[in-house]
Amino acid sequence: MPVGMTIRARLVFLGRLQDLAGAAERMVEVARASTVDALLDQLEPELAAALRSPKVRIAVAGGLGGLDRTVSDGDEVAFLPPVSGG
């Protein structure tokens, strides 16, 4: 993609999702106006599938969001694990 057509977002994997992702954070580059869902296409299919679980909560730029949320350049996209053992 030409320069300026893409944005960079920081993915943050919290709690036990960090073990699943094998890292606390990943930077991804996607087309402008991409959704969280599109951004997950950049990850390994298994990890992406796990993060698309309706039980995983998503926060974008400091507030709760969903897979359809549009991501802006420089946004932090955090993935939060479901409550376990409750």
Partner 1 sequence: MTLPAKPLIDQFSRRITYLRLSVTDRCDLRCSYCMPERMQFVPKAEVLSLEELRRLAQGFIARGVRKIRLTGGEPLVRRDVLDLVRALGREVGSGLDELTLTTNGMRLAEFAAPLADAGVRRINVSLDTRNRALFQQLARRDGLTQVLGGIAAAKAVGLKVKLNTVALKGLNESELPALIAWAHGEGHDLTLIEVMPLGEIEGDRFDHYLPLTAVRESLEGHLTLTPSAHRSGGPARYFDVAETGGRLGLITPLTNNFCDGCNRVRVTATGQLAMCLGGEAEVDLRAALRSDEPEARLDAALDLAMRTKPERHAFMIRRHGEAPALARHMSATGG
E strand residue ranges, the chain: 6-13, 25-31, 57-60, 63-65, 76-80
> How many CB atoms lie under 10 A from the CB of residue 30?
20
Q: Does 40 bind partner 1 (CB under 8 A)?
A: no
| Among residues 2, 3, 5, 84, the one that binds partner 1 under rule CB under 8 A | 84
Q: Does 50 bind partner 1 (CB under 8 A)?
A: no
> How many CB atoms lie under 10 A from the CB of residue 69?
18
- Cβ neighbourhood burial of 80 (10 Å; 0-12, 13-18, 19+): middle
Residue 3 or 83 with smaller CB distance to partner 1? 83
Q: Does 74 bind partner 1 (CB under 8 A)?
A: no
Q: Smallest gap, in angstroms, from Cβ of residue 79 to partner 1?
A: 9
Residues 6-25 that bind partner 1 (CB under 8 A): 12, 14-18
- Residues of this chain that bind partner 1 (CB under 8 A): 12, 14-18, 57, 59, 62-64, 76, 78, 80-86
